[in-house]
Structure formats: C-alpha cells, structure tokens
Amino acid sequence: MNIVVSGTGYVGLITAVCLAELGNKVTCVDINQEKINMLKSGKAPILENGLEELMKKNKEKLIYTNNSKLAYKNADIIFIGVGTPEKKDGGANLKYVYEVSNDIAENIEKDTIVVIKSTVPIGTNKKIENIINKNARNNVKVEVVSNPEFLSQGTAIKDTLYAKRIVIGVNSKKAEKVMKELYKDMNIPIIITNRESAEMIKYASNNFLALKLSYINEIANLCEKVGANIDDVTKGMGFDDRIGDQFIKAGIGYGGSCFPKDTKALNWCANFYDYDLKTIKAAIEVNLNQKIKLIKKARKYYESFENCNVAILGLTFKPNTDDLREAPSLDNIQILLEDGANIKVFDPVGEKVYKNINFEKITYCNSIEDTLNGTDICFIFTEWNCIKNMNIQLFERNMKKPIILDGRNCFDIEKIKKYKVIYESIGREIVNNA
C-alpha cells in the first residue's frame, strides 16, 4: 500500500517510522522545509529513544517531502498526525487538521482512506470526512478512520510497535478490512468500534491517567499533614491489581503535550453538551496547585527571593524527552524571576532545551556541580537519572545554604539523613540536618 503521513512532529514522525519498520514504504509530508531537510539528513526534530536509529535502519523506505500534491496523488492511506494545541478556552485547536484535510481534498486522485492519529474532539472524524468529500476536486471518495495513538514520550517506539491495543473507529467494513490488513502482523489486540467511541477512548484513557496522578498527589499532600510516607502508601496500593503501580508516583504535577490539554479539552466538550465533568475539573485544579507546591515550601525559608541564588535541576516535564510544554519548571522559574531571584539551571538535554526558553537573566550550566555552586536553595523539577544518581554530598559541599526542594522524590530519605542538609520532598518527612 502507498502510505502517506502528514505531519512530522511527535505523533506523525513516530507513526511513519514505525510503519516503515513494519515493512511499508512511507512518505512523510510537512510544510516546514527546515524539518524536512533535517529528516533527509538523518536527524530527528524531536528527542525520542531509538528514533534516529530506526530512521537510519529504514531510510530506504522513508521519503520526506513538502510536496503534498505529489505525496497525496496516489495515496491508499493517509495518516494525519499534526498537532491539536489548546485554545484559550480549553478546547482543541483543529486549525492544522483542517488545513491538511483541505490539502488532501485538493490533491488526491483516487479513493483513499484518511486515518486520524491526532487527538481530536469527539465527532471530528465525521466532520473531516464531510469536508474532504465535499471539497474533493476529483471524482473520488474518502473514508475517515479514527486510529488514536497511546504514546508516552521516551518510550514511544516501544508503545507503538508493542502496543497494548490498537483502537480503530470505522463506519464501513471496507475501511475495517484495510486497517486490519495494515496491522495484521503486529500480534496486538485490535478493538473495532465506531469513530465516536474511538475518539472517546483516547480522551478517556488520558484523562483517567491524569486523574490517578492528581489523586495520588492529593494523598501525598495529606501524608505530609498526618505523618504518613507516600512511598510506603503507594507501594502498599500498587500490589492491588485493581489499582496497579503505574501513575501513582507523587510529584509536582503532570505536564507535556497530552494530559494538560486533553483534560481541558474533555472538560470543554462536557461543557459544550451542558454536562459538568466534576472529576476532570478537580484534576485540572489539583494539578495547577501542585505545580507551585515547591514555591510554597520555599516561602518557609525565604519570604522573598530578591537576590536569592537559586539552583534548578531539570527543566523538561519528564526525563528522556526535550519537551518543555506545560513543564512545572517554567511556572516556577517565572515566579522566581518576578521575585528577583538569580537563577542557574541544569538539564542534561542541554542547549536543545535552553534555546526554547524565553526567560532572560538565567545562567545555564553544563554540570550539576556548577549549578549548585554558591546557591541558597535548590529546586528539582525533573527526575533525570543523572540527578537521581548524583553525589548527594555536592549539595552540602557546593551550596551556600544546602536547602533542597525535591519535586520528584529523587532521593531516599534515610540516605539524605546522612548529610548536613535541609531536604523537603512530596508526601514524605522533612529532613533538617543543616
């Protein structure tokens, strides 16, 4: 089959490369010539484990172009994997999906199946099908299929090639047959449903995980009040198969490209249909408050951060990605800067992350040691392995005042007690040996 993937961002590029790994020849289309040139050179525009290696392995099966007319002309299947960013009102911005749909309508010359990989509000697949068929210039017919992705940044290749399930929302047996044929060799459970249900499965899945994270953060906050240890609590909970041990790690909230916008989008959808989705509203509120929990802890030590020398370890919303979208670090940096702090930061991704930050008056360091030198307080926002495995003595040795606020519970409490530091984490006892 002649497969085309529109969009070479996170969803589109992962989809294309994995389809090539399955033996297909795939054409990747993007309007951004700089990205196309980068891809042609063998470089990925995103940081993802194993992605460039897979691109290299399948380079004979991958074509990168900005010529949509040529790409769509004889396509059997077109995947749409462009972004659906959050609008100011919380809804999903479908501008890019609609632009691609109109481009497809203008250029296809044969009956085609269009597969929506992008996360879109319930009912969008039907709208896209109507748009393309209404505006198609040639005498062709398009069927739109919902095939949502369930990727986690850092493990996206594995999440695609060894997925727990493949969800396919179709309105015809013909489309169902084509999609089953595409995925026949993957030995993964396939769920066939209508398009609306497939769209809802995506939102319901992401929102449930966001709920788990918000819930456990609430429990962690209460643990601090009553003297319980959240690590022991989650360990005890995780043995219950009905709960599981995934997404119950306490911290300073979720970020990234999915949970923040998908919770708001589902809440927007509920409001549109005059339904009050109380649980999701609560998760959004909890997460907003959790993001600045370390700032609230820091106020015990510094009423103002004016001329306070601050070390920040970790910028990305999670380890093993260069994604800064909705990262808790950014909200906290903004507050600290507005209060007059002097900030030094370290993140192992380095310049690739730094260049995307618009904050001024920040010193970027190439090592943890340099970041800590002469500082009055340290915030940990990302649990990179190099941070989790660092020499704890560096806090005591390099900081002017060894106050550590750990938003990701990177260190064992008993180990921390061996050093002359003040250490606060999430849902655990405070260590004050300074």
Determine contact, residues 421/431, Cβ cutoff 8 Å: yes
pLDDT at 353: 74
- Name the band, by pLDDT with cuts 50, 70 and 90, for residue 312: very high
- Name the band, by pLDDT with cuts 50, 70 and 90, for residue 351: low
Per residue in 226-240, pLDDT (tens digit) is: 999 999 999 999 999
Chain mean position to CA 62:
25
pLDDT at 361: 82
Q: Which residues are catalytic?
A: 258
Start-to-end CA distance of the chain, whole Å, equals 66
HSE (CB half, 13 Å, CA atoms) of 190?
18
pLDDT(265) > 80:
yes
pLDDT(357) > 70:
yes
Q: State phi, psi for 141 to the nearest 5 degrees.
A: -125, 140
User: Can you read off the two tokens belonging to residue 108?
Assistant: 């296809």
Which residues, listed in sequence order, are joined to residue 32 by a DSSP beta bridge?
A: none
Question: In 292-431, where does DSSP find H-type helix?
Answer: 293-298, 328-338, 351-354, 368-372, 385-388, 393-398, 413-416
Q: What average pLDDT does range 348-367 have in this prediction?
A: 80
pLDDT at 54: 97
Task: Report how far apart, in Å, the C-alpha atoms of 323 and of each of 152, 211, 258, 343 are.
Answer: 12, 21, 11, 20
- Name the band, by pLDDT with cuts 50, 70 and 90, for residue 399: very high
Query: How would you label 300-335 residue by residue, b for 16+ Cβ within 10 Å and e otherwise?
Result: eebeebeebbbbbbbbbbbbbbbbbbbbbbbbbbee
Q: Is 411 exposed, middle or buried (0-12, 13-18, 19+ CB in 10 A)?
A: buried
pLDDT(137) > 90:
no
Q: Which residues does 398 contact at the CB level (< 8 Å), separation at least 6?
A: 369, 372, 373, 374, 375
Q: Which residue has the tokens 């597969």?
A: 115
Of 131-140, 196-205, 379-388, give the lowest mean pLDDT range.
131-140
Per residue in 104-127, pLDDT (tens digit) is: 999 999 999 999 999 999 999 999
Per residue in 276-308, pLDDT (tens digit) is: 999 999 999 999 999 999 999 999 999 999 999
Give all domains of the chain, ordered by start, each with its CATH number.
3-193 (3.40.50.720), 202-291 (1.10.1040.10), 293-432 (3.40.50.720)
pLDDT(416) > 80:
yes
